[in-house]
Structure 1
Amino acid sequence: MKKLILTGIFAVAGLTTTANAQIQQGNWMVGSSLLSSNFGLNTGGGYDIALQPKGAYFIKDNVAVGGYVNLGISKVTNGSPTEFDYGVGGLGRYYLSPGEKGVDNLLNHGRWFFEGNVGIGGRSVENGDSTTGLDFGVGPGYSYFITPNIGIEGLLKYQGQAGFGSEGLNSSLTFNVGFSIYIPTSKAKQMVNEVK
């Protein structure tokens, strides 16, 4: 019971760090886009739901690199074929500092960022259309920190897949909503040691 109480105290202490601490060198970001709206740039574009887990390590202040996985399924209408999207690869994020390049924070508890990804992925449709090969994307986002270590995020992203299959290139403009948890490495180690 004592270990559980101490762990809870350290978790709360971790949530009360300053707002700039979450994107410092040595911290981790773990999160996922839970809702994805897809405005297709190709014929037959529509809406989809996708789960996009991602994780990154801050190699220096405001710069994180890591990986992602995309799993999605969509159906434009009842009569349309089901579409399955998948991908895995590396991602990078750059967070803008307040006032950087004339960009001010929209809110005091948030940060603008740019995200890019590249990996292997594809798209498969029931009617036989498919693309498998390079999975890539880029776009701006905003993370609003509801606590110093938890952010709700919106991300507008150009997403594409190029390679082999019946479609050489497939692309879309997506708006993703999700969350991220920012974990200071020192706090994570401290919590693990306290539990032991």
Structure 2
Amino acid sequence: MFHTNFKIKQNMKKIILTVAAVFVLSFANAQDKKDSNGGQTSKGKWLIEANTGNAMLGNTGFYFASSDGESAYNLGLDGGYFIMDDLAIKAGLGYGGDSATSTSAFSYRLGAKYYVKSMIPVTVDLTGASGDAVENVAGETPMWLGLGAGYAWFVSNNISIEPGLRYNLSLNDKFTDKGILQFNIGFALHF
């Protein structure tokens, strides 16, 4: 059992390092790249996005689940500003609750999003949550390092649909020592 958990953790570290390397290399080459998507990710532009969320961690996305008359939800948005072509600094807020336990949680996110070749978003961010919904779980609040990548499908000059994968590495092992892999679909406005 210990050997299996150790091997899983080693594989996750390799994945995290690979995503981080792609992000760093993409950032280093950003100065030489021409914007080929019509300017949606150009320096000085703004980004507002809504993502599907995951109930297992504090999030700034949209989530709803209902079972046996009880429901859980989350509402949130992320926003960003492109400080250079294809690189946005982002922040997000979310609020959610659970009718079964009458608890609620406030979530936040800070990070960066880089569009490789103006169409492959790579993200690195810090996500956390506070409130009675998360503190009741373990007496601690969660903190996650999120690494993700996807594809930006620009359906118009100002709108993109961005499916992607995201791995959330727990930074508070008293809350949980498990990482979470999730599939998200993001909807972004660029202006």
**Higher RCO (Cα < 8 Å, 6 or more apart):** 1
Query: Which residue in the other structure is 2:9 paired with?
Result: none
SS at match of 1:117: strand
Q: What is the rounded CA distance, in whole Å, between the counterparts of 1:125 and 1:39 in structure 2?
A: 10
Correspondence 1:68 to 2:92 = yes
Query: Which residue in the other structure is 1:54 paired with?
Result: 78
Question: Is 2:142–2:175's contact at 8 Å kept on the other side of the alignment?
Answer: no
1:1-196 superposed matches below 5 A = 19-33=37-51, 35-36=52-53, 50-72=74-96, 86-97=106-117, 111-122=119-130, 124=133, 128-163=137-172, 167-183=175-191
Greater C-alpha Rg: 1
Q: What is the rounded CA distance, in whole Å, between the counterparts of 1:157 and 1:167 in structure 2?
A: 19
Q: What is the rounded CA distance, in whole Å, between the counterparts of 2:179 and 2:102 in structure 1?
A: 17
Question: Is 1:25–1:60's contact at 8 Å kept on the other side of the alignment?
Answer: yes
Question: Between Structure 1 and Structure 2, how many residues are aligned?
Answer: 142
Q: What is the rounded CA distance, in whole Å, between the counterparts of 2:49 and 2:115 in structure 1?
A: 16
* Runs (5+) with no aligned partner, structure 1: 1-17, 41-46, 99-110, 184-196
Please tell me the residue identity of whatever aligns with 1:172: I
Question: Is 2:49–2:189's contact at 8 Å kept on the other side of the alignment?
Answer: yes
Coordinate RMSD, CA, aligned? 3.3
Query: Which residue in the other structure is 1:3 paired with?
Result: none
When structure 1 is superposed on structure 2, of 122-131 and 48-57 the one drifting more is 122-131
Q: CA deviation at 1:136?
A: 2.2
- Identity over aligned pairs, percent: 23
Please tell me the residue identity of whatever aligns with 1:146: V
* Runs (5+) with no aligned partner, structure 2: 1-35, 58-64, 66-71
Query: Which residue in the other structure is 2:26 paired with?
Result: none
Please tell me the residue identity of whatever aligns with 1:36: G
Higher strand share: 1
SS at match of 1:148: coil
SS at match of 1:147: coil
Q: What is the rounded CA distance, in whole Å, between the counterparts of 2:53 and 2:143 in structure 1?
A: 20
Q: What is the rounded CA distance, in whole Å, between the counterparts of 2:79 and 2:188 in structure 1?
A: 9
Q: TM-score, normalized by length of structure 2?
A: 0.59
Q: TM-score, normalized by length of structure 1?
A: 0.57
Q: CA deviation at 1:49?
A: 5.7
SS at match of 2:117: coil
Q: What is the rounded CA distance, in whole Å, between the counterparts of 2:143 and 2:135 in structure 1?
A: 21
